[in-house]
């Protein structure tokens, strides 16, 4: 491996998870080429249904993962993406950044379009079977009937056979539709119709070639001793299959080498130009055609590797399942972060980073997992659209990181966060594990965020049930519940409870003269004054209309201070209310008792009510030294 000089530039790859086998092949070859050229591939993969279900908002969030520093260019796997909106959005981003866009298997204006030379590649396979192995009796396993790619390959196979004295009659063409099940059905139909065992099966892709080999082996027909088999497109399963499938694979090394050369020499004035580059195929001789002898050691090695992969898969799924079980009832991101650190420490990739987006400000994110070589770092809050990776420079300079994998963590309604993994080892299993991790993390984020929102909603409902809608004070139910909670606290033992009943004087007159809106305003001002005067030690409530209650816990009874408290409340209410043509006044009654457990509240509530009505009678009679005022309009 070539050592990075710390200035690796990023090649951004956009793909979807729908075709994981080809994605793995493409990324495998890209890793090999870029690590020799001081570039770092970053693949942002997506689930098409998750992005498309939410439209423009989801696509904007998806685009933010690409709008990062130190980009050298974009590679778009157009046939996997299959979304003009996504492709065009990235093209516009690249043109704004004045960077090259390489579009694979689709053609767009303003891009360097990479076109696989399928017929040239398939011709290499056909000529090898017909001219090198002298096969004239061939069954062609085509793709989809009537499909242009499929029909072109049939026509090419027929022409090459005819050039060499053979033929391809219609009954020797069967349609496997590019997959295993249709291939089995087509083979059954061929032999049921009296078809003979040919010299070779020539398949339009490797998936069908593998299906043919399995079909034949189940009938004790040996490949390649009794019949030869060849495929096309070079998927990884064809290489690991026994026997390994003879095939042709796109010349990715050539394509990527030329692509990086263009990035090295890119000039901003080239932005927006349209080019087309043909991508040749490399022919690969393997066991299924008889050119390469089977290697029992390699077969045993592959079997061992598959067993290890299966064990790791089981261990991984079990760990992730336990993780999800623990998060089902969580509503705390801090607790989730601790679980993530414990979980991901079992998979020692050089770099992990997971973040949750702020629900109110989607441009802000909070990291809940940040690991470099097993060292977990504290969470931070940052602007993720400036760079999804907070230590991007460190990641680019770490030669053990051969590829960055990035995925948004979404549910059907929103993007909740994202996961970044920096990988050193690369295989189909590593790719699958990253996708599984992203799926499990999405489920965990969804559970934690959902539980928190549910708790907040329940708290809001409880608050509505226990608070007065007009003033925000407790209502009678909330007042009694909070009072009961406070007197049960250990620190309340030995204290004295003073309970006040309070009515606002003259509310009816304010309503009659100035209207109910002004009456409500006066009530709100009195409520603010009540909270201000009682402070943190007080518990305040509005029972309804002009009726209030409040309680104070202190070292002694507050009854002697009742008149002072009334004066302070009225003064604070006047200040809150501002200049008005009425004054806010209140009648108050108080009762007190030592705090005990249990403390019967009904008697003391009744006593405070009696004291209130006594005070009202005194004030109404004008015996408090003040005349009651009836407001009037100026």
Full DSSP string of 523-569:
HHHHHHHHHHHHGGGEEEEEEETTEEEEEEEESS--GGGHHHHHHHH
- What pLDDT is recorded for position 198? 97
Is residue 28 domain-resident?
no
Round the average pLDDT of the chain to a whole number and report it.
Answer: 88
pLDDT tens-digit profile of 203-223? 999 999 999 999 999 999 999
Q: Is the pLDDT of residue 629 over 60?
A: no
- What pLDDT is recorded for position 317? 78
- What pLDDT is recorded for position 631? 53
Q: Which pLDDT band, with edges at 50, 70 and 90, does 75 fall under?
A: very high
- What pLDDT is recorded for position 502? 95
- Regarding predicted confidence, which is higher, 66 or 301? 66
Out of 309-313, 485-489, 629-633, least confident range: 629-633
Question: Using CA atoms in the order 99, 103, 108, 112, what is the torsion angle rounded to 10 degrees?
Answer: 60
Output b/e per residue, 566-592; b: 16+ Cβ within 10 A: bebbbebbbebbeeeebebbbbbbbbb
- What pLDDT is recorded for position 90? 93
Cβ atoms of residues 9 and 72 within 8 Å: yes
- What pLDDT is recorded for position 532? 93
Cβ atoms of residues 141 and 201 within 8 Å: yes
Q: Which pLDDT band, with edges at 50, 70 and 90, does 68 fall under?
A: confident
Q: Which pLDDT band, with edges at 50, 70 and 90, does 3 fall under?
A: very low
Q: What is the mean pLDDT of residues 54-71?
A: 79
Q: Where among 200, 218, 250 does a domain terminate?
A: 250
- What pLDDT is recorded for position 51? 66
The Cα–Cα gap between 255 and 250 comes to 9
Q: Is the pLDDT of residue 413 over 90?
A: no
Q: Where among 250, 285, 304 does a domain terminate?
A: 250
Is residue 169 domain-resident?
yes
Q: What is the mean pLDDT of residues 140-165?
A: 95
In this structure, the strands spanning 381-383 and 364-372 are antiparallel
Q: Which pLDDT band, with edges at 50, 70 and 90, does 626 fall under?
A: very low
- Regarding predicted confidence, which is higher, 24 or 536? 24
* CATH number, domain containing residue 227: 3.40.50.2300
Is residue 75 domain-resident?
no
Non-local (6+) Cβ contacts of 337 within 8 A are 368, 369, 379
- What pLDDT is recorded for position 305? 65
Is residue 365 domain-resident?
no
- Regarding predicted confidence, which is higher, 61 or 90? 90
Is residue 346 domain-resident?
no
- What pLDDT is recorded for position 204? 96
The Cα–Cα gap between 141 and 154 comes to 9
Is residue 176 domain-resident?
yes
Q: What is the mean pLDDT of residues 82-103?
A: 93
Domain around 137: 118-250
The share of the chain scoring above pLDDT 90, in percent, equals 58
In this structure, the strands spanning 364-372 and 351-357 are antiparallel
Residue at token pair 């950044």: 97
* CATH number, domain containing residue 536: 3.30.70.270
Residue 474: closest CA among 548, 562, 576, 558: 548
Question: Using CA atoms in the order 154, 157, 160, 162, what is the torsion angle rounded to 10 degrees?
Answer: -70
User: Per the structure, how many domains does the chain have?
Assistant: 2
Q: What is the mean pLDDT of residues 484-501?
A: 90
The share of the chain scoring above pLDDT 70, in percent, equals 92
Is residue 229 domain-resident?
yes
Is residue 451 domain-resident?
no
pLDDT tens-digit profile of 344-398? 877 778 999 999 988 888 778 888 989 999 888 888 887 776 676 778 888 999 9
Looking at mean pLDDT, say which of 20-24, 50-54, 586-590 comes out highest.
586-590
- What pLDDT is recorded for position 340? 84
Q: Where among 250, 265, 293 does a domain terminate?
A: 250
DSSP state of 575: H
């Amino acid at each position: 491996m070539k050592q990075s000089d710390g200035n690796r530039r990023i090649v951004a790859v956009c793909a979807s998870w729908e075709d994981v086998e080809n994605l793995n092949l493409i990324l495998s070859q890209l890793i090999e080429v870029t690590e020799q050229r001081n570039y770092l591939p970053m693949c942002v993969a997506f689930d098409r249904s998750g992005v498309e279900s939410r439209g423009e908002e989801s696509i904007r969030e998806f685009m933010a993962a690409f709008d990062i520093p130190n980009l050298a260019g974009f590679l778009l796997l157009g046939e996997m993406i299959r979304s003009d909106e996504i492709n065009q959005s990235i093209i516009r981003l690249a043109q704004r950044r004045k960077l090259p866009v390489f579009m694979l298997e689709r053609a767009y204006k303003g891009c360097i379009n990479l076109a696989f030379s399928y017929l040239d590649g398939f011709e290499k396979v056909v000529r090898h079977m017909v001219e090198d192995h002298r096969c004239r009796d061939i069954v062609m396993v085509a793709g989809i009937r009537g499909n242009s790619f499929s029909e072109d390959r049939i026509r090419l196979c027929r022409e090459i056979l005819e050039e060499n004295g053979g033929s391809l009659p219609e009954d020797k063409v069967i349609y496997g539709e590019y997959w295993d099940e249709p291939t089995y059905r087509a083979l059954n139909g061929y032999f049921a119709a009296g078809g003979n065992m040919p010299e070779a099966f020539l398949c339009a892709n490797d998936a069908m070639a593998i299906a043919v080999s399995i079909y034949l082996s189940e009938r004790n027909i040996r490949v390649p001793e009794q019949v030869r088999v060849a495929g096309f497109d070079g998927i990884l399963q064809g290489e690991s299959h026994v026997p390994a499938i003879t095939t042709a694979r796109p010349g990715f090394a050539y394509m990527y080498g030329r692509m990086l050369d263009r990035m090295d020499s890119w000039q901003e004035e080239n932005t927006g130009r349209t080019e087309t580059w043909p991508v040749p195929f490399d022919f690969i001789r393997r066991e299924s055609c008889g050119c390469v002898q089977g290697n029992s050691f390699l077969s045993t090695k592959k079997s061992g590797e598959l067993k290890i992969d299966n064990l790791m898969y089981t261990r991984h799924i079990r760990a992730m399942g336990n993780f999800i079980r623990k998060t089902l009832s969580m509503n705390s991101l801090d607790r989730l972060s601790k679980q993530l650190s414990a979980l991901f420490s079992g998979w020692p990739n050089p770099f992990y980073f997971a973040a949750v987006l702020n629900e109110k400000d989607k441009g802000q994110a909070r990291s809940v997992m940040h690991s470099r070589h097993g060292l977990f770092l504290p969470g931070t809050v940052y602007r993720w659209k400036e760079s999804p990776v907070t230590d991007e420079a460190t990641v680019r300079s770490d030669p053990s990181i051969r590829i960055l994998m990035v995925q948004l963590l979404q549910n059907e309604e929103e993007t909740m966060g994202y996961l970044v993994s920096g990988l050193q080892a690369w295989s189909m299993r590593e790719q699958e594990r990253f996708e599984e991790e992203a799926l499990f993390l999405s489920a965990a984020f969804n559970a934690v965020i959902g539980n928190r929102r549910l708790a907040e909603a329940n708290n809001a409902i409880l608050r509505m049930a226990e608070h007065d809608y007009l003033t925000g004070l407790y209502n009678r139910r909330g007042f009694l519940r909070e009072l009961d909670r406070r007197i049960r606290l250990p620190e309340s033992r030995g204290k004295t409870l003073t309970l006040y009943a309070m009515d606002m004087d003259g509310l009816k007159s304010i309503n009659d003269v100035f209207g109910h809106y002004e009456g409500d305003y006066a009530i709100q001002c009195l409520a603010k004054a009540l909270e201000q005067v009682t402070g943190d030690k007080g518990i305040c409530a509005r029972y309804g209309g002009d009726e209030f209650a409040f309680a104070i816990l202190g070292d002694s009874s507050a009854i002697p201070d009742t008149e002072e408290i009334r004066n302070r409340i009225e003064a604070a209410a006047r200040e809150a209310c501002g200049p008005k043509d009425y004054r806010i006044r209140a009648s108050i009654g108080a009762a007190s008792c030592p705090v005990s457990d249990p403390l019967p509240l009904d008697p003391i509530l009744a006593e405070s009510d009696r004291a209130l009505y006594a005070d009202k009678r005194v004030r109404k009679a004008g015996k408090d030294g003040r005349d009651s005022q009836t407001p009037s309009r100026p």
